[in-house]
Structure 1
């Protein structure tokens, strides 16, 4: 009995964090142009809209086929090498609304799977070395994956326009304005040069 209570607490806790990260990731697109949300910001092409698209596919796959609850829309096959990486960027014909809406539909499907299953419900991930898993494993995996990509999105957004998730008014009240950040960056640059 106590194990069930602990399992449900853990499931609810992880699920709550996953929900918050999903919302934060989508907010990173707010106020940016179509070009900026698609713009490759790293040598490997990492971009904001591509991160959203990738996580839509990941959630659809991990909370869908892994538990025999397939997402009702087509998802690239995990074993189709010709499709590797296509979920990491948006074509010119895919709209922001299509991709974010698909992500939100994947959330709803994932949320239904999470609600329907116990934390120790079995699943099977054929592309993992140890393919037999529980819902708990997939919750931890997707929370980690989403947090990782939300961190990427934080950096990309800051590079694009200086935007952060931090409340600008609260930062200003604490004296953390543009001058503060310019001084902080200069201090860090001096330390880096001195160490180099």
Structure 2
């Protein structure tokens, strides 16, 4: 593909008989923390959630309003929308689920029309970041206040799986946040080339070396394509 290629038509991925395609409510049968120090486990899960949360929000650093909102995929994925979405999901899972609703929630929080996946013209980048921080503080308060085995109800999950523990929701939100932080990482790279989150996992290359690396991968891809054609 080149920059001149048309935007591809969106085709949803086919369902696969794997746990990844079964939905978040199917990922666990709860289980027990017997034999594990519950407080240590809670701190570990909380720490990973905070790490992924920080990595996600940091992807907005240095972006102008237009860049932050710019959709780089056929489905409209944009950095600011990802931050807004995670903030909303976080508010619901650590709020309503445990009977601790976020005070003065925004109207879009209950919307099912994709309003959480982009910032409207009435919202600024700073507004979304401020809401994310408010949502995070509320979530952290819930995590601190409850034990891992504290029970809650996820009303939007299937009836037979909606009764959950804080343990379950911590794992679920850690997964949710890390997934979208990865999305934001790729989107930001497509916008201005900024990649990684400074944790040392990105290879150390100069800008020129990255150009050569990508050209190498393009060459490999092209050669493999010719091989498929029998050339």
Q: TM-score, normalised by structure 2?
A: 0.74
Q: Any idea what SS the aligned residue of 1:177 has?
A: helix
**Alpha-carbon distance, 1:37 to partner:** 0.7
Structure 1 counterpart of 2:137, from 104, 108, 111? 108
Asked which structure has the greater CA Rg, the reply is 2
Bigger CA drift: 16-25 or 6-15? 6-15
Match of 2:94 among 44, 59, 63: 63
How far apart are the structure 1 equivalents of 2:147 and 2:135?
Answer: 19
Contact 2:94–2:142, Cα closer than 8 Å, also in 1: yes
CA shift in 2, pair 1:64/1:28, >3 Å: same
DSSP 3-state at the match of 1:159: helix
**C-alpha distance in 2, partners of 1:77/1:188?**
46
Structure 2 unaligned residues grouped into runs of 5+: 1-32
- 2:184 corresponds to which of 153, 162, 167: 153
Distance (whole Å) between structure 2 residues aligned to residue 175 and residue 89 of structure 1: 31
How many pairs does the alignment contain?
Answer: 192
CA RMSD of aligned residues (A): 2.6
Cα drift, residue 80 of structure 1: 5.1
Using a 3 Å threshold, how does the CA distance of structure 1 residues 195 and 70 change in structure 2: closer, same or farther?
farther
Tell me the TM-score normalised to structure 1 length.
Answer: 0.86
* Aligned equivalents of 2:207, 2:75: Cα separation in 1: 36
Aligned to 1:181: 213
